[in-house]
Amino acid sequence: MKEAKPYEISKHVVWVAYTKVKANRGAAGVDGRSLADFEKDLKNNLFKIWNRMSSGSYFPPPVRLVEIPKGYTGATRPLARF
């Protein structure tokens, strides 16, 4: 019996995510690689990400949540830090 992949993630979904990051002028990730560096081998890098995510072998690092003040209202908003 063939085991099913843990997640059904299409390559299109990974492409759409990349285009959103690019449109937002995304900063370097936790690995320190810039978007320009990532784009030097874009096709291969997107494939690696898709492959790891769809196979279930991608585990993002834990994120620490910090509440930061929002103006003079006394309210806060969450800020995730790696």
Q: How far is it, in rounded angstroms, from Cα 68 to Cα 30?
A: 21
Rounded to two decimals, what is the model's pTM? Answer: 0.65
pLDDT value at residue 51: 93
Dump pLDDT digits (tens) for 4-56.
Answer: 556 688 999 999 999 998 998 877 676 778 899 999 999 999 999 999 988 88
